[in-house]
Amino acid sequence: MGQPWWQGAVGYEIYVRSFLDDDGDGLGDLAGVRAKLPYLADLGVDIVWLTPFYPSPQADHGYDVADYLDVDPRFGTLDVLLALTTEAHELGLRLVIDLVPNHTSDHHPWFVDSRASRDAEYRDFYVWRDPAPDGGPPNNWVSHFGGPAWTFDETTGQYYMHLFLPEQPDLNWAEPRVCAAFEDILDTWFSRGIDGVRIDVAHSLVEDPEFRDNPLLGEGIEQAEDDDPSPDPTTARLVFDRFVHVHDVDQPGVVDIYRDWNVVAAKHDALLLGEVYILDPIKLHRYVTDDALHAAFCFDTLKLAWDADEVRDTLRPYVEVSGDALAWPLSSHDDPHAATRFGGGARGARRALAYFTFLCGLPGAPFLYQGDELGLEDGHLETGVASDPIAVRNPGTIGRDAVRTPMPWEPGPGFGFTTGEPWLPFGSNRTDETTVAAQLGFPGSHLERTRELLATRRRLSALTNGSPTEWITDEGPVVVIERGEEVLVALHVGDGDGPAELVLPEGCRLAFATMAEVELIGDTLYLPEDSAAIIELEPTEDGEEPMLDAEERALMDRAAADQDLARMSGDDTGIGNDGAGGANG
Ligand code: GLC
């Protein structure tokens, strides 16, 4: 049996609202996505993930779904989506759509019916509870976006639960008809040719059956809400973060749902990729084992500071526990672009590319967010723009708007994104130089280096075939991993440490470097700060994979392994490290 099609794939997240506007209404659409499929295929990604395009009042920009099986006319039609899917396949791309099973829109017909009366047909599709004895919410749970997780409904005299906006009522996954409905939804999309789903807040869905209060981390919640006038964009989440979420997320039972979905997906060879926001390798692993999800995002990649120990200590346990069942986002529509997170400017972009090169060296699937291939920073927006519900609910903050500003394709007033008025400003830091047109075809540009990186990754099968990962350095500013004794990836995470020199085994070849200043002279790799390199340890003559039959390849692999073993054994690994921290075996 061959490996699953998603093993070793590279993903690309499209925030549909901001990718490309084909009809000039200022909002990105599916026709825009369709037009850029050749761009994505040329870039060298394998999986294209589309954020929600479903009919929706857009209270949370589409993560409030009113119909799971259709397309909002603002984004196009089902026919356009299906044509786009066929064209993606013709270009060798796989299409993954966003599925939002934790909650619906309050405009979804299920909820409209559910709130009509206590004995409505769909009443139990949602989480309804009586008020507490004092008339307040049934427990102390709060919404991710701030405020209580409960809204009182006058008509039926009960509260409904929402871990996000009141316009996003939570579905009741204890109700078997909800489970059945979603298995049908999955089956329908996969039958339509969609290759997989990215599952929104996949760790939620199930709640404590007794609806017990969550313990507080610190002082009272009122204090956090009332006394904190901070304009920090994460203020709303601070309230959420004041609690230990032992009863509202990551409950026993949620993984069982994915075991049932796995059966549906298997019929279609489709991918289940979870947004499992759990920053713990062991807990996360439960979602990707025993025939549950095929893969889950590791969100710690979005948290790491530019610090070699942090990179090693944080990512290594994930790799050791879940290996290639993980997806590694560089940025996302919920988090800052990597170039911004790493300090912005030329240095931020350099670091973002180097870090992505490292993610490309890990087993599993690295994911770019649109614009990452340009080294794009978040848009600089005036406060007061407020489109994201986090920003709307927390006046004076920007929330996630800055990471969602439209994609700059080419110089000009609408940056090639729209001929109309963009739904969100581009940001005052967008210039002609930040566009795709300014980088496409220019060797050394962020875009061209990203394309070269992805081509290199594709060529070096040890990076994509699940080969084991060995962590070569356990201290010093250079993080080095080796895959299957064939490929080595080195990332210089220094900050004032100066360039590093690494002595490598004889006969290596520099397959990819993020900067022209990276050099392999003889057996010594010169790695400036904020750079990364991919090294072939056993390069073939022309840099291509030799065409061998299976038996020849097995013999050669065995001989190479023996040689490697001989070379690597003894008093060092063959990898010296001068000025870049120690090497371990
Ligand atoms: C996920 C999405 C985010 C959305 C939330 C609620 O975290 O990525 O954009 O607001 O779920 O659906």
Q: pLDDT (tens digit, 9 = 90+) per residue, 252-280?
A: 999 999 999 999 999 999 999 999 999 99
Please give the backbone phi and psi of residue 171, each rounded to the nearest 5 degrees, phi first: -75, 155
* pLDDT, position 231: 35
pLDDT category, 576, cuts 50, 70, 90?
A: very low
DSSP 470-524: EE--SSSSEEEEEETTTEEEEEE--SSS--EEEE--TT-EEEEESSTT-EEETTE
Q: Is 164 in the pocket of ligand 1 (CB under 6 A)?
A: yes
- Within a 10 A sphere around the Cβ of 554, how many other Cβ atoms? 11
Mean pLDDT taken over the chain: 90
Q: How far is the CA of 200 from the centre of ligand 1 (A)?
A: 6
* pLDDT, position 218: 56
Q: Give the pLDDT confidence of 559-569 residue by residue, as tens digits.
A: 434 333 333 33
Q: How far is the CA of 518 from the centre of ligand 1 (A)?
A: 39
Q: Is 334 in the pocket of ligand 1 (CB under 6 A)?
A: yes
* pLDDT, position 290: 85
Q: How far is the CA of 147 from the centre of ligand 1 (A)?
A: 16
**Crossing angle of helices 176-191 and 254-268, rounded to 10°:** 30
Q: Give the pLDDT confidence of 410-437 residue by residue, as tens digits.
A: 999 999 999 999 999 999 999 998 999 9
The question of whether 474 is a catalytic residue gets the answer no
* pLDDT, position 561: 40
Q: Which of 293-297, 333-337, 566-570 has the lowest average pLDDT?
A: 566-570
Pocket probe for ligand 1: among 201, 393, 404, the residue whose CB has the most ligand atoms within 8 Å is 201
Residue 191 has pLDDT above 90, yes or no: yes
* pLDDT, position 239: 80
Burial class (CB in 10 A: 0-12, 13-18, 19+), 489: buried
Q: Which fold has domain 11-102+176-207+222-452?
A: TIM Barrel (3.20.20)
Calculate mean pLDDT across residues 449-455: 98
DSSP 3-state of 579: coil
Q: Do domains 11-102+176-207+222-452 and 467-548 have the same CATH topology?
A: no
Residue 384 has pLDDT above 90, yes or no: no
The 3-state secondary structure of 381-450, one letter per residue = CCCCCCCCHHHHHCCCCCCCHHHCCCCCCCCCCCCCCCCCCCCCCCCCCCCHHHCHHHHCCCCCCHHHHH
Q: Give the pLDDT confidence of 110-150 residue by residue, as tens digits.
A: 999 999 999 999 999 999 999 999 999 999 999 998 889 99
- 84 within 8 A of 131, measured Cβ to Cβ: no
Q: How far is the CA of 343 from the centre of ligand 1 (A)?
A: 25
Active-site hit among 207, 275, 334, 536: 275
Contacts of 541 (CB under 8 A, 6+ apart): none
Q: Is 297 in the pocket of ligand 1 (CB under 6 A)?
A: no
Q: How far is the CA of 60 from the centre of ligand 1 (A)?
A: 8
Nearest to residue 8, comparing CAs of 551, 466, 449? Answer: 466
* pLDDT, position 2: 80
Q: Is 167 in the pocket of ligand 1 (CB under 6 A)?
A: no
* pLDDT, position 391: 82
Q: Is 508 in the pocket of ligand 1 (CB under 6 A)?
A: no
* pLDDT, position 221: 43
The 3-state secondary structure of 515-535, one letter per residue = CCCCEEECCEEEECCCCEEEE
The question of whether 433 is a catalytic residue gets the answer no
Q: What percent of the chain has pLDDT over 90?
A: 82
Q: Is 100 in the pocket of ligand 1 (CB under 6 A)?
A: yes
Q: Is 202 in the pocket of ligand 1 (CB under 6 A)?
A: no
Tell me the whole-structure pTM to 2 decimals: 0.91
Residue 584 has pLDDT above 60, yes or no: no
Nearest to residue 20, comparing CAs of 60, 75, 61? Answer: 75
Residue 581 has pLDDT above 60, yes or no: no
Pocket probe for ligand 1: among 49, 334, 388, 403, the residue whose CB has the most ligand atoms within 8 Å is 334
* pLDDT, position 542: 56
Q: Is 306 in the pocket of ligand 1 (CB under 6 A)?
A: no
* pLDDT, position 1: 61
* pLDDT, position 311: 98
Q: Is 63 in the pocket of ligand 1 (CB under 6 A)?
A: yes
Kindly list the distances between the CA atom of residue 507 and the CA atoms of 3, 123, 458, 520, 538, in Å, as whole numbers in the listed order: 30, 68, 21, 11, 7
Calculate mean pLDDT across residues 392-416: 90
Residue 334 has pLDDT above 50, yes or no: yes
- Alpha helices, DSSP H, located in 97-208: 109-114, 176-191
Active-site hit among 200, 300, 482, 530: 200
Calculate mean pLDDT across residues 197-206: 98
* pLDDT, position 237: 54
Contacts of 531 (CB under 8 A, 6+ apart): 350, 354, 492, 513, 514, 515, 517, 518
Any idea where the domains of the chain sit in the sequence?
11-102+176-207+222-452, 467-548
Domain 467-548 is of which CATH architecture? Sandwich (2.60)
Q: How far is CA 198 from the centre of its chain?
A: 9
Which residue carries 């997906």 as its tokens? 265
Calculate mean pLDDT across residues 77-99: 98
Q: How far is the CA of 243 from the centre of ligand 1 (A)?
A: 19
Please give the backbone phi and psi of residue 509, each rounded to the nearest 5 degrees, phi first: -135, 140
- β-pairing, 11-14 with 365-369? parallel
Q: How far is the CA of 64 from the centre of ligand 1 (A)?
A: 9
Pocket probe for ligand 1: among 96, 200, 277, the residue whose CB has the most ligand atoms within 8 Å is 200
Q: Which of 233-237, 300-304, 396-400, 495-499 has the lowest average pLDDT?
A: 233-237
